[in-house]
Every structure is written in C-alpha cells, then in structure tokens.
Chain A
Amino acid sequence: MRLELHHHQVSGISFGEATGLGAGMLTINREELSALLLADERLAAVSFDLAAPGEDCRIIQVWDVVEARYRGDGANFPGILGPIEAVGRGVTHTLKGMGVVITNPSSRGPEAKVIDMAGLGAEWGLYGRLHHLVVQPQPAPGLPAPELLYALRKAQVAAAVYLARAAAAARADEVEVFDLPPLGSRPDADSGLPRVAYVFQIHSHQRPTEDAEPVLYGNNVRNFLPTILHPNEVLDGALVRSYYRKGFETYTVQNHPIIREMYARHGKELEFAGVVATVAHQTEPERLQSAAMAANLVAEVLGANGAVLTKTGGGAPHIDMAQIAELLEARGVATVMMAMDMSVDGSAEGGSLFSFPGADAIVNYGFSPSPLALPPAARIIGGAPETLVYGRPASGAIEVDLEVLAGAENPIGANRVMAAHY
C-alpha cells in the first residue's frame, strides 16, 4: 500500500476574503468556515483565533490538535466525516507547520490542556512551534456532555479538511512516500534484517468510550480485540484520539513518530512488519484475551523478531502492555516498551507497575506529577485572562502537571521529555 503525503508548508495564517494558500501564506474565510461548522446544530456559535510560534500567547481549554489533511482520492476521517472506507492509499494533502486546535469551554482541571507559544512551555510542549487556527465552539444550550464532545471532534476534523482542501490544487513543497507492500509479496523477505512490529494501544477503557465516540474508523473500540493495521491507515486518518484526557493528540497519530521511525529504517536496519492495534481493558478476562491475541499476531502472523509497545492513559494500561510484552519475550520476540514513570516518591521500585524476566528495555516519557512552572502570557486564547488554570489566572504565572501542557507527556514518543532519577 502506497501513501503519498503532499506537504504544503504554511509559514503564516491570516483571515481574508477567500480561503487559499499562496506563497506559504494561508488565508481563511472565517464566515465560510463558521457556516460549515455551525451546520451542526449542536453548536450555537464558533469563534476563531490565530496564534504564531514565538508569540507571547497562551491557548487554554485545549481539547485536541489535528493536522489539516485532505485526501484528494477518497474519504476524509472515515466514520466521522467521510463514508467508511480503508485509508492509507493514494494522495493526501497536508498543511505542514500548522495545527487546528479545538477548545472545549466545559473542560476542567487536567482535561483542559494548555499550549504556550513561547518560552519554556513552547520548548517542552509539542505545539508552540506551529502556527494554529484555534477553533472555539460554544455548545447549544442544554447539550449533553457526550454530544458536545462528538460535536467538537466533528468540527475539528471538518475544519482540518476544509483548510487542506483549499491547498490541494497548489504544487506541494515536498512529497513523502510511505510504501509498504503486503507481507507475502515483499522482495526483501530474506534480507536478513530483523522483522519489527509496533503494538499500539489506542485507547484505555479506564475511561470507557461513549456510545458514539469515534476512535478507529468511527468505531468506539469497545470489546475491541487486537487487530492488524497497515501503518498507513494510522497516518491517514483512520484513527483519532479518544475523549480520554490522558494520551496523545490526534496530530501525533497523524505523524506517528514510531511508525515514521520504523519507516525511515525500513529496508536498511529493519523490516517493518506492521502495526497491531490494542486497547487497555477494565477486566482481567479481556486483558488476557487481548494479550494472548496480540502476542500471537506479532509472533505468528507478522512473524516479527522484535516489537515496540506503547500504552496510553494512566497507570493500569501499563499492565495490558506488559502482559503482551511478557508473552512475546517468552516466545523469544525482543521487546521495548514505552512507559510513564510512576514513581511518586522518586524511588526506582515505585517507577513501574510490572516486572518480569526480559523486561529490560523501557523508554520513559516523563513523570506526570512533577509540576511545570510556566511564565505569564500577554495574550490568552480559549478563555479570558482571568480564566483559572489550575487555580491561577491564565495570563499570569501558572503551575501545571506535565500532562496539562499539550504534547509534553506523549505516550507514543513524539516528545523528548523523560524522567531522570538522581
């Protein structure tokens, strides 16, 4: 399956008459976009703001970030916007260097993420280096919470597709090709390179999904059994972040850093066997079913010699991940896991929730309870300067948990933040 990402670089955004991209400048017709989003009657109003890298600006009440994408040849975000069809093939246009941020006015506490466009927050978060269109919807009166979340999800991807479509006619600045043939028809099957798979925990049912919560092809991934995905599907809009606050932003799924890394080394240092998607469950039987099947898919179907495993959510999903890794190690498949450092007391023994022979290679993506002090910001988007962020006015100096700075605690390895023990 071959996916071409046609990247259109965005080096500035402004509002104007006609939506379009010229010489790196994206112009957005606010009224047109507003009309498109307000076609959903769950939303009473929507406003837009722009933020640029380096600006003395803080975006609050952030719910998710997506990259603007338009699939010229088919469905966009199937199961949410477009009809359901497999993605990951053909040409997809991307607006590079920018994000579409959506805010949720009803988010509280750690659900309300922060993006700082300058200073420490820009360095530690993932999104301060991008230009942003910040979409700020207001729900219709009396709208139930799950309905609002669904409306946010839909509005965000609709805006993302609307923007990228406007650039599709232009010549791309760069074309990136992701081409991975079916396992059975690979010429390099005897290359001698290790076969490597990626086991991707896409949601944690610590927070059960809503009935209509779209995660994979619009599916709410309840009763989800491990499934093999082509990596291109992940990159091309099959998967979005669930509503659970702890995890990855959709932007990092579309630019999945492990999949990109495996692609970059494919045919040189490894043979990329594929992706196995899993979820973290709430009950022991489901966890065992998931572990048994995922390990079997990796070892016996994909025939991998090694696997990287990631988790999402809080502490318990470490176990779902580790049980797969344990089965893989027992079958001689080498594993690397990516985990959050859990050591509330700073002790090594408190750092992890699991331990088994062979679990000797773990990358950590940070220590959540460690507070991050962020300096004041002159301009606030997503709320008022006096809107409280962790009990302090948004425009002043604030102190937040690592997970609150969007992208700082990224379980799929998009960031460089890691916990160090002294």
Chain B
Amino acid sequence: MAGPLRIVHYLNQFFGQLGGEEAAGAAPQARDGAIGPGLAIVKLLEQRRCESGELAAEVVGTVICGDNYFIETPTAGDEVFALIAPYRPRLLIAGPAFNAGRYGIACAAVCKMIGDKLGIPAVTGMHEENPGVDMYRRDVVIVRSGASARAMLPTMERMLTVALKLVRGEALAPARLEGTFAQGRVRNELAAETGARRAVAMLLAKLRGETPTTELELPRFEKVRPAPAIVDLTTATIALVTDGGLVPLGNPDGIESISATKFGVYDIGGAERLEASRYESVHRGYDVRYVNADPQRLLPVDVLRELERDKRIGRLHPRFYSTTGVATTLRNSRALGAAMAERLRSEGVQAVILTST
C-alpha cells in the first residue's frame, strides 16, 4: 500500500495528559499526531527504520478517553470508534495499561472493537494481574508488561514487534516466546531438542541462577473463603456432592467421563444406602472398581442415615449432585460450582459434604 503505515494510538486521561483521577470522566477526544507514550512509538519506529529499513510508519492520531467515562458510558465505544475511523488507520496501538484495571479493560475493548469493525491489527499491553487480561486475552493480542509505567519503553518495543508482524501478515511465535498472553490455541510441535535435553539444560540454567524459560505456565488458584460454619448441625439439611462421577446406571444425563461441562442431580428418596446394582461411576481418571462395588465409598449415604437417626444432623438431602472432576477446565469448574451452589441453596440445603477422588 502506498504511503506510510497509519497508526492510531489509544490512551487514557492520564497518559493522554488530560489529568489524573479528576479527569477520569473525560469524554473521548482526538489529537493529531503522537502524545506521551506515543512519542515512544515514534522514537522506536525511527530507530527501526534506521537500523533495518523497516517500513515507514507514522502515528497519525491519538484518541484519548477518561477511564471512568469508558467503563461507565454505554456509548463510549461508539464514540471512540467515531474518532478513530476517520484517521483510516492500518494499525491500532492501545496503552500499554500496565496494572491499571479500568484502563486495561478499555484498551482491550477498543482493540477488540477496532479489530472486529475495521479488520486491522490492534495490539495492547498490560500486566498479568490486570483484569483486562482474563476478559480479553482470547480475542485480543495482549503483550505482557511489568506492573508500572517504568517498563514503558521495553513494553512498547515488544508491542511494536508483535504489531508489525501482524501488519506484515506474519504468524506470531508461541506466546511464551512472543511475550504475549496465549489466546487459547494449543497445538503440538516438534522442538529443536528432545525433552530430556531441554530439561537438563533448564536445570543447569536454574542452578546458574538464571531465570528458566518454563514451557508450561502455571495456574494461579484463588483462595476460596469457606462459608460460615453451621451453628447447629442437628437442624441442618446436608447434601452429598461429588466429582467422583457417580451416576445412575446408564448415565441418563450423559455426564462426560472427562472434561465435564455438566452435573447431574439424582433422587435417592429415603434410601438407606446406594445399591451397587443401580449406580456406576463414569469418571475416567481413577480406578472406579471400588466405587462400583460399593457406591458408599464415594457417597457415604449409609453413614449419613446413621447420623440422621442419631439426631446428629437434621437430615440428608434427598438428592445427590454429581459430576466428573478430571481434566475439567478451571472455567468449567467455576461455572459448575456456581450452578450447583445456586440450586442447592434453592433446595434449602445448608451444607454439603463434597467428596473427591
């Protein structure tokens, strides 16, 4: 395409130099050329052009919007779009937002909107704890940044590297190498070295005090606060809930044996125990023979009936809840847990005994 690559830069009120928190309600406005962090883009583009003759590019405009305005105003996205589109950009850069939550969400939302509506590359950057990451990583290319603006220049450098690859139509490298947040696509590849060689090399690097380049990102599990304790168990309705995969024979609800997306609720009425002839476990992650031989090993109905008779608990809830907990995604687990909790509550259950395998 003739002429330099036209870039529009999106900033919040602070980086757009409108002011601090007091200006967070500022409505969207456009300025020709680069402002604030946009000057870093200009500088980096100039460097690249000198060093490698990279294509000519220019920041043609900057669109600024207050963070509160963007989050709280339903039409903010449309207003921002109306200011960006006339610049006829071929690339949008937003932020970086570092660990600023509202700014991160706005940057990612603008990137998604521009990508969807104009079909051009749009790249932002933020810290892993920015809520914008979890909300938008699947839809938007987000470059990892430090938590504060001190990392502006190296972050912008990586954002530009990724953005220019996208402009040229090049495929991005795997996220851990590109310094982006993975967008949820995983595929097997052949590495240059065997796993054994990589492992020993990684250990020696770690022993030398270097930061190892892990090949598997670890999940960050949030701490779950337990519900307040039951004051009087003798009046409480207690339900049995399991991720051990126990279902009526034949699995009427088709609960998946791995990577579950649903749970079943099964009536036990006043049964004294769960009969092995009527139930089975469809879980694919443990040896189910012992549970199939006696389902009480997973769901101790017999013991709870005893406690009921001895008046140590109010009563056993007449339905048990079941799913399979094996290779279930955290996202599905959260959704299943929330749905179970809501239904249990609506059925008047005060406590559950959660059994796992």
Chain A positions near chain B (C-beta within 8 angstroms):
123-124, 194, 196, 206-208, 257-258, 260-262, 265, 269-270, 282, 305-308, 310, 314-316, 334-336, 338-339, 341-352, 354-355, 359-367, 370, 372, 402, 410, 412-422
Instruction: Given contact pairs A418-B190, A422-B175, enumerate 13 new A-B contacts (beta carbons under 8 Å).
Output: A196-B207, A258-B200, A315-B327, A343-B329, A351-B216, A352-B219, A355-B220, A359-B218, A360-B218, A361-B206, A363-B199, A370-B187, A410-B195
Say yes or no: B198 contacts A421, CB within 8 Å: no
Distance between Cα atoms of A213 and B280 in the complex (Å): 27
Say yes or no: A413 contacts B204, CB within 8 Å: no
List, in ascending order, chain A residues with CB within 8 A of B175's CB.
421-422
Return the chain B residue nearest A316 by Cβ.
B285
Q: Interface residue count for B (Cβ, 8 Å)?
A: 49
Say yes or no: A347 contacts B216, CB within 8 Å: no
Interface with A: B54-62, B113-121, B177-185, which one? B177-185
Q: Choose from B186, B190, B204 the contact partner of A421 (Cβ within 8 Å).
A: B186
Say yes or no: B204 contacts A269, CB within 8 Å: yes
List, in ascending order, chain B residues with CB within 8 A of A341's CB.
186, 216
Given contacts A306-B206, A344-B259, A344-B327, whether A364 and B216 have CB atoms under 8 Å apart is yes
Given contacts A355-B221, A367-B187, A367-B188, whether A418 and B215 have CB atoms under 8 Å apart is yes
Q: Choose from A206, A208, A305, A421 the contact partner of B207 (Cβ within 8 Å).
A: A305
Return the chain A residue nearest B174 by Cβ.
A420
The interface bits of chain B over 126-149 (1 if a CB of A lies within 8 angstroms of the residue's CB, else 0) are 000000000000000000000000
Instruction: Identify the 7 closest CB pairs spanning chains A and B, nearest first.
Output: A413-B195, A413-B196, A257-B196, A421-B182, A348-B217, A361-B212, A420-B174
List, in ascending order, chain A residues with CB within 8 A of B191's CB.
416-418
| Closest beta carbon of chain B to A234's beta carbon, Å | 13
Given contacts A123-B190, A336-B206, A345-B184, whether A206 and B219 have CB atoms under 8 Å apart is no
Say yes or no: B219 contacts A419, CB within 8 Å: no
Q: Choose from A305, A349, A350, A422 the contact partner of B187 (Cβ within 8 Å).
A: A422
| Closest beta carbon of chain A to B185's beta carbon, Å | 4
Return the chain A residue nearest B209 by Cβ.
A334
Say yes or no: B187 contacts A420, CB within 8 Å: yes
B211 at the interface (CB under 8 A from A): yes
Give 6 pairs: A residue, B residue, CB < 8 Å, sorted on A: A316-B285, A335-B203, A349-B330, A410-B195, A417-B191, A421-B217
Distance between Cα atoms of A208 and B200 in the complex (Å): 31
List, in ascending order, chain B residues with CB within 8 A of A365's CB.
195
List, in ascending order, chain B residues with CB within 8 A of A316's CB.
285-286
| Closest beta carbon of chain B to A347's beta carbon, Å | 6
B287 at the interface (CB under 8 A from A): yes
Say yes or no: B183 contacts A416, CB within 8 Å: no
Say yes or no: A258 contacts B199, CB within 8 Å: yes
Distance between Cα atoms of A258 and B117 in the complex (Å): 51
Say yes or no: A416 contacts B194, CB within 8 Å: yes
Q: Choose from B184, B194, B198, B220 the contact partner of A346 (Cβ within 8 Å).
A: B184
Given contacts A194-B204, A270-B204, A352-B218, whether A346 and B185 have CB atoms under 8 Å apart is yes
Q: Choose from B174, B193, B329 the contact partner of A416 (Cβ within 8 Å).
A: B193
Say yes or no: A363 contacts B215, CB within 8 Å: yes
List, in ascending order, chain B residues with CB within 8 A of A196's CB.
200, 203, 207
Distance between Cα atoms of A306 and B207 in the complex (Å): 7
| Closest beta carbon of chain A to B180's beta carbon, Å | 9
Residue of A124, A194, A362 with highest tally of chain B CB at under 10 A: A362
Say yes or no: A422 contacts B216, CB within 8 Å: no
Say yes or no: B219 contacts A260, CB within 8 Å: no
Interface members, chain B 265-320 (any A CB < 8 Å): 285-287
Given contacts A261-B196, A349-B330, A418-B195, whether A361 and B203 have CB atoms under 8 Å apart is yes
List, in ascending order, chain A residues with CB within 8 A of B199's CB.
258, 261, 308, 310, 336, 338, 363, 413
B75 at the interface (CB under 8 A from A): no
B326 at the interface (CB under 8 A from A): yes
List, in ascending order, chain B residues with CB within 8 A of A367's CB.
186-188
| Closest beta carbon of chain A to B50's beta carbon, Å | 31
Residue of B193, B195, B219, B259 with highest tally of chain A CB at under 10 A: B195
Say yes or no: A414 contacts B194, CB within 8 Å: yes
B165 at the interface (CB under 8 A from A): no
Return the chain A residue nearest B211 by Cβ.
A360
Return the chain B residue nearest A340 by Cβ.
B216
Distance between Cα atoms of A124 and B212 in the complex (Å): 26
List, in ascending order, chain B residues with CB within 8 A of A346's CB.
182, 184-186
Given contacts A349-B220, A355-B220, A421-B176, whether A208 and B287 have CB atoms under 8 Å apart is yes
| Closest beta carbon of chain B to A53's beta carbon, Å | 18
Given contacts A339-B216, A422-B172, whether A308 and B200 have CB atoms under 8 Å apart is yes
B202 at the interface (CB under 8 A from A): yes
Return the chain A residue nearest B203 by Cβ.
A336
